[in-house]
Chain A
């Protein structure tokens, strides 16, 4: 089955011209390639994480996908629409949440903002009532509806913003750092809600975040952008391998002993009383290591730790992001 390419990005670029002072009057123009030729497709109903360090080009990409910014090059289609040319037509089919700023009217009570959204998007009454009830229930909006947006806490405002982005039942939801600055409970609520929306409505979700728990809990597919280029596009598991990560074998011995030696492919990285930590390449099996250790040491207990995804991503960023041959394909995503 060939899935519909709801989001179709082909070699899209965004080049900004920056003028810098050079001498008293002379200005030097130079080009900044914020997005440097990225290509990806997202089929309907998928939830994708779009991550990268600050300034990597994430927000610029989202702005091009939503029609705020016009690409300098490449081809971009969202549900068959060119965002740069038909921004307002596209607006009815997408929902956008910026974690750092609200799309609601700051001085109006939440319910007035929703009313305005309903009329602006010409949401049919039945659709509106159903979505509003569902959002209000799942996001606990009831007590907040009469409060002006500026008086809401960050977590409350975020919930309010997410509901506002969904009232017109968009096919695609873009979330730019939706959990930034939220407490643990608010984060959990937002994630739970997004999962429900994706499952129930089949809404396609593209999420930029710095919170790796967001990714682990919501997305099976991850795209990593660095220096304006896509350096990884694939499953979360593949990301671990791509980052040359190491797994850790934690062993508990009967008593305190000198660092374990002579186990091929592994090295002891830490000793703490009878407990020792051994690092080994992520791609290898732990079984032969365990056998080798058990043969020569009094082994009581053991556990294997997956490489920390945060470290893996840090390694990806640090690596040469410009080499296109490092770009994995989406083929391995389910």
Chain B
């Protein structure tokens, strides 16, 4: 009997060479699903615009709080308004992008509980791509655009000698920051394979972490700063590279080269989160709960 398994032979994935193919395959599936959701979102254009504007306004409110504060003071922990705006922009942009790209993954706990995860396991594409792309919420661009606006404004106001290296550092920070937040999202989701209501724990690291990173590290207790440097290394999202860029001393007094560890930290965290995800999915497939 002829059967439509044209691609089946192509997907023999174990082995080193298959790793890259598997990633490409997952990205393709992610793209397919995301495109479908964007299309269905844009079918109701007005409602989408209103949601995105709402998101932008809601996330904008915490920057308004910062502005209000600076109407009374000139500096916060030794940081000027443009400098705080720079911290705010980089952190918010990183979280916004991670949330846009992977945020849906926090629904995995519910999928485990109601059994709909099983239907994802039946499709010939990675579960991670399916969960991450599920209900892709384009309105989250609201947070991203708000962060871009604040960051853009801060860049015009900062008194920094913009060498090529420093210019490159800004997008690199956003990229590493997105990866770090994305890893936290993923690790939190992986944890939900065991504890299905753990979404809030992960939220405290992502949204809570973001609220922390919007302010200069100098205003917080040293232990807290140590915690987000060494335990959950969120400090690499923006604090450490920003201190270098803005010419502020590191409150922990770490050696200078630590500031450049962002990409390495991001890569390590992504690898760890990936392992946690695989381990979680394997546990699910052996216990079915």
Contact = CB atoms under 8 A, between A and B. Distances in A.
A107 B135 contact: yes
Contact of A88 (B33, B116, B124): B124
B255 interface: no
The 10 A-B residue pairs with the shortest CB-CB distance in the complex, in nearest-first order: A169-B4, A91-B124, A122-B7, A103-B119, A127-B4, A68-B121, A92-B8, A202-B1, A88-B124, A92-B124
Given A93-B5, A101-B115, A202-B1, A87 B40 contact: no
The secondary-structure label for the interface of chain A is: loop
B286 interface: yes
A63 B288 contact: yes
Contacts, number: 105
B103 to A, nearest CB: 17
Interface residues of B, number: 34
A169 B3 contact: yes
B285 interface: yes
A67 to B, nearest CB: 7
Given A70-B285, A107-B135, A116-B33, A171 B3 contact: yes
Interface string B12-44: 110000000000000001001100100110000
Given A88-B126, A169-B3, A201-B1, A116 B11 contact: no
Interface string B177-189: 0000000000000
A92 B7 contact: yes
B122 interface: yes
Contact of A120 (B4, B29, B40, B119): B29
A121 B286 CA distance: 26
Interface string B102-128: 000000000000111011011111100
Interface of A: 16-17, 44-45, 60, 63, 66-70, 72, 84, 86-89, 91-94, 96, 98, 101-103, 105, 107-109, 112, 115-116, 119-124, 127, 131, 168-171, 201-202
A96 B287 CA distance: 20
B6 interface: yes
A101 B116 contact: yes
B86 to A, nearest CB: 39
Contacts of B29: 120
A168 B121 contact: no
A201 B3 CA distance: 9
Given A16-B288, A88-B11, A120-B32, A96 B122 contact: yes
Contacts of A115: 36
Given A93-B8, A124-B6, A98 B118 contact: yes
A171 B36 contact: no
A116 B31 CA distance: 11
Contact of A92 (B5, B13, B121, B288): B5
Given A93-B3, A127-B4, A168-B4, A66 B115 contact: no
Nearest to B121: A68
A69 B283 CA distance: 10
B287 A16 contact: yes
Given A108-B40, A122-B7, 10 more contacts: A66-B121, A68-B288, A92-B124, A93-B8, A96-B122, A101-B118, A120-B123, A120-B125, A121-B7, A122-B6
Contacts of B33: 116
Chain B CB within 10 Å, residue with most, of A103, A120, A168: A120
**Which residue among A16, A69, A115, A171 has the maximum number of chain B CB atoms within 10 Å of its CB?**
A69
